[in-house]
Amino acid sequence: MNVAVEPSTFLPERTNWETIFAEVNAWRGSCLHHFSTGEMAVPETLLALSSTPIGAKVRLRHLIGQRFEDLSVAIAPDRPFGDVGTVAFAELSKYRERQEAFRALLCHGVIKVTVDPTGQWTLIIRSLSVRGRQAERALMIIERNDAEARLASLKSEGQRLASTLGQLRKNAPV
């Protein structure tokens, strides 16, 4: 059956793109803020561990991914800080597993914003990285409600990581 439908019956009268882009950019900025605050604890911890008597071999490289790896190595169960780093190692591993790919997409991805008939936005995030001379493409589609939940999760996990690393610095041998 062919039925003619007037566009005004299923589309909002006007899409306020300025408001939508402001919301999307505010959400992305909040995510980046929470990544930054959580990530600041990583080099602080590496510096603290490296200044201890047994910390001479703690690496502190430039890129955040390398620093996560350096900290994982330093506090791994079979390493010099493994005895005081057990909880931090588990928390760091969990954080990396849940947030690292999301961070890469959010920081390096190209974002396309779509709006559904109710005026709710959806993000389509695409990224391209090269590893071992091979292209790795990633895609994430995230609706506004899921984006807000993802931000809340990132905030709590980042705070938990920073707190756990703070405890590790406090309990590190001096």
Tens-digit pLDDT profile for residues 83-96: 889 999 999 999 99
**Residue 52: domain span:** 16-108+146-171
Let me know if residue 46 belongs to a domain. Answer: yes
Residue 6 lies in a domain: no
The band of 119, judged by pLDDT with boundaries at 50, 70 and 90, is confident
pLDDT at 173 over 90: no
Residue 72 inside a domain? The answer is yes
The answer for residues whose C-beta is within 8 angstroms of residue 108's C-beta and 6 or more apart is 127, 129
Phi, psi of 11, rounded to the nearest 5 degrees:
-115, 145
- Establish if 3 belongs to a structural domain: no
Q: For residue 100, tell me if it sits in a domain.
A: yes
Where is average pLDDT lowest: 56-60, 125-129, 136-140, 154-158?
A: 56-60
The torsion angle over the Cα atoms of residues 59, 61, 63 and 69, rounded to 10 degrees, is: -20
| 15/86: higher pLDDT | 86
Mean pLDDT of the 150-172 span:
95
pLDDT at 18 over 50: yes
Q: What's the total number of domains in the chain?
A: 1
pLDDT at 105 over 80: yes
Examine residue 116 and state whether it is found in any structural domain, yes or no: no
Instruction: Tell me if 133 is assigned to some domain.
Output: no
The predicted model gives 115-119 an average pLDDT of 88
- Whether residue 5 has pLDDT greater than 50: no
**Does 114 fall in a domain?**
no
Predicted pLDDT at 20: 93
Confidence of residue 165 (pLDDT cuts 50, 70, 90): very high
**What does the chain come to in residues?**
174
